[in-house]
Amino acid sequence: MSAIELFLAFFILGAAGVVLPFLIPRRSLVVALAVIGTLMALIILVASAMLLVSDGRFHVALWPLLTLGTLTLEADRLSAFFLFVSGLVFLPVSIFSGAYLNKYLAHHDLRYFSVLYHVLFASIVLVLVAADVVSFLIAWELMSIVSYLLVTYEFERPESSRASYVMLAMSEGGTIAVAIAFILIAGTAGGLGFPALRGAALSDGAALSWAVFLLSFFGFAVKAGLIPLNSWLPLAHPVAPTNISALLSAVIVNLGVYGIVRVNLDLAPAAGAAPGLIVLAVGSLSALLGILYATIQSEMKRLLAHSTIENMGIVAAGVGAAMVFIATGHNVVGAIALVAALYHLANHSVYKALLFIGTGAVEAGTGTRDLDRLGGIIRGMPWTGAFFLVGVLSIAALPPFNGFVSEWLTLQTILRSAVLSSTVIKIIFAICGALLALTAGLAGTCFIKVFATGFLGMSRSPAAAAAREANVGTRTSLAVLAALCILLGILPTYVIPAIDRAVVPLAHESATAALVPPFFTATAQHPENLPPAFVADFHDLGAQIGRKILPGRGLVILHRGEAHNPVVFAMSTTYMVVVLPSLLALIFIVFRLLTRRRRIARKAAWDGGLRHLLPGLTYTATGFSNPVRVIFAALLSPAANDESTEAVATHFRTAIRREYTEVHIIDRFVLQPPIDILRNLAAYARRMHVGNVNAYAAYVLLAMLIVLVLGVGLF
């Protein structure tokens, strides 16, 4: 089938998903949604793979729209990459939905949910294949509204209504900014089609170029969840259905990155390094603040929401670095930075979907998402625990899992700022690199806390002690995503060339040639641009292992430098899969040999002299993260509320309770000051309302007098 036929089949299935719920019994709705959603995801995976790998073509001219041109749908390699990632997430999420949505059958109308679910999928695809301003904005608005309706699906809960309203309001503000940016480009280009926009000469006017960049970046940053426009994420995720939370973090936020890349690296590339530095700085700060607030959370979905801000910050930092390198003429390094950013985006989508589905399984098995009330649930949920552990190791960027590859490559690329000539830019890169390194360390702390306090240790509540394993549908989704986390981690030399196909048209250089040396094909007779001595050295180290079994260029990521520094950085997670278990096995064997003559006595663990260690005496998630809260107290600045009960003439207190309320730093320094100013103005204006009719008449006369004086002065 051609790409056009596949997309047509996709939209036909989407239409069936909208109509079918009204024709079948309600008890069959969940199965129908899962089947149709899974088929739609499979079609998108096949179609996007054809477009990305085999240079297929998708171009459809719909119909002319008055004087605004023709509405057009077209998918290039960048669109194909984002489509593939979206399908990769929708596939397991649709399978999970078939098991998860049964909880809503008794109290909610799933026909409404089914319609919105399939329309959301279709609108996301339309955003990614829109090839003109009008169709893009229509699809974007449809996606935003449907997302809002799905977040507020449990509308009877006040927190759902508030969170969805904040999400919609911020999204509409971002949409307005994006629309203005498109209008500014179109005014120069003389057309609304993306091909016409690419020909716009924005560099002729510095003010216009800056306006387009700032409007488009911060407009799309709302959807991507970057600071200071990330307030909706921690509000929306805890109240949305879990399958929708997975889509918000693993698909919807990606569209914000798509918009940033599409406008600022394709349609209207920013002139100079300054715009890229802004993206780099905002991304680095978003990453650090996101993981800081994630670390101190104990509610799992809110923790994952803050983690999404962190990961989108890492992606944005990679995009910003790519913009700087390309603008300064270092296109090869820019291509590597963009590959690292898109690689991390794909990795984040996979492991974040896994963690959200795992959280849904934990909630279904225990009735709570509060880490302080969990503990020891791996005994009742071994499969869920094993799959969740894969997601934890991936998001903590531990080798050989997928998060390690993209974060390592992003940090290595930022260190390549040494090739830049400006000292100021180098300093900014160094600061941002330090922020990202600190972020990586805190991410490990955060997700060690999640798994250790949630799945290990003693059960801290009756619900945790009675945890039951997830159903087959949920475990299937978790298994698919866990397998993807492992494959994306151990096969980077196959993933990078695929992503590079989407990057080459933007960076005009290939990252594959710079990152994946052809060790499988290079020989002494055919060095393929590699020095023979260089090839021989790495072949002696084992770079040819697997040459006669596996296709491709090799299994080593390596960036070459100059003659005095032939290797800038190198790594192979594929070989780590063999080396790391071998080292662990060797250590175990040595340990057993050294202790073979010693008898091991197994007894109860020492518990400080207590007869019985109570669950309340063990580490909770709050206690685990308290050192981070103390170290970063100046940044987090929590407000403490003390409640006490006094007795015996106020000389003694029988109970003291202290609660900390975290007010986000962005709310304190960005949102709260203008709110306080408006409240003060309103309070000042309220003094005029004295309830005296004579005073009100005086106000009217004074206003008329001012109008007359101004009128006389003007005429």
- The string of pLDDT tens digits covering residues 50-79 is 999 887 778 888 888 777 778 889 999 999
How many domains does the structure of the chain reveal? Answer: 3
Residue 313 falls inside a structural domain: yes
**pLDDT tens digits, residue range 585-606?**
999 999 888 887 777 777 777 7
547 and 479 housed in the same domain:
no
Same domain, 404 and 308: yes
Same domain, 529 and 479: no
Report if residue 471 sits inside a domain. Answer: yes
Spatial neighbors of 673 by CB under 8 A, at least 6 apart, are: none
Domain boundary among 527, 549, 575: 575
Q: Report yes or no on 364 lying in a domain.
A: yes
Residue-level pLDDT at 602: 77
Query: pLDDT confidence of 560, banded at 50, 70, 90?
Result: confident
Same domain, 494 and 532: no
User: pLDDT digits over 222-240, tens only?
Assistant: 999 998 888 889 999 889 9
Among candidate residues 173, 159, 170, the one with its CA nearest the CA of residue 301:
159
| pLDDT > 90? residue 608 | no
Query: What pLDDT sits at residue 528?
Result: 63
pLDDT beyond 80 at 654: no
Q: Taking the CB of residue 643, how many other CB atoms lie within 10 A of it?
A: 9
pLDDT at 333: 94
Q: Is the pLDDT of residue 665 over 90?
A: no
Q: Give me the half-sphere count of Cα atoms (radius 13 Å) on the Cβ side of residue 302.
A: 16
pTM of the full predicted structure?
A: 0.90
Question: Does 145 fall in a domain?
Answer: no
Q: Are residues 486 and 525 in the same domain?
A: no
- The answer to whether residue 363 is domain-embedded is yes
pLDDT at 655 over 90: no
End of a domain among 471, 493, 513? 513
Domain boundary residue among 460, 491, 513?
513
Confidence of residue 642 (pLDDT cuts 50, 70, 90): low
> Is position 97 within any domain?
no
The residue with greater pLDDT, 565 or 674, is 674
Same domain, 527 and 667: no
Residue 244 lies in a domain: no
- Tell whether the model's pLDDT for residue 652 goes beyond 80: no
The b-or-e profile of 61-75 (16+ CB within 10 A means b, else e) is eeeeeeeebebbbbb
Phi-psi region of 240 (alpha: psi -120 to 50; beta: other; left: phi over 0): beta
**pLDDT at residue 203 is higher than 80:** no
Pair (549, 677) in one structural domain = no
Residue (of 86, 469, 468) closest to 246 by Cα position: 86
Are residue 289 and residue 364 in the same domain, yes or no? yes
Range of the domain at 649: 637-690
β-partners of residue 657 are 643
Say if residue 487 is in the same domain as residue 503. yes
Residue 646 and residue 684 in one domain: yes
Residues 6+ apart with CB under 8 A from 425: 273, 277, 324, 328, 417
d(CA 510, CA 616): 56
The answer to whether residues 467 and 550 belong to one domain is: no
The arithmetic mean of pLDDT across residues 346-370, rounded, is 94
pLDDT at 198: 84
Letter string b/e over residues 486-511, b meaning 16 or more CB atoms within 10 A of that residue's CB: bebbbbbbbbbbbbbbbbbebbebbb
DSSP state for residue 599 in the 8-state scheme: P
**Helix or strand run (H / E) with residue 653:** strand 652-661
567 with 553, same domain: the answer is: yes
The whole-angstrom distance between residue 405's C-alpha and the CA centroid of its chain comes to 16
Residue 602 lies in a domain: no
Could you identify the residue written with the tokens 């072949």?
Answer: 539
If you search the block for the tokens 């921690």, which residue do you land on? 234
- pLDDT tens string 491-522: 999 999 999 999 999 999 999 988 988 888 76
Q: Are 436 and 287 in contact (CB under 8 A)?
A: yes
Q: Which of 97-101, 510-514, 537-541, 611-615 has the lowest mean pLDDT?
A: 611-615
Confidence of residue 536 (pLDDT cuts 50, 70, 90): confident
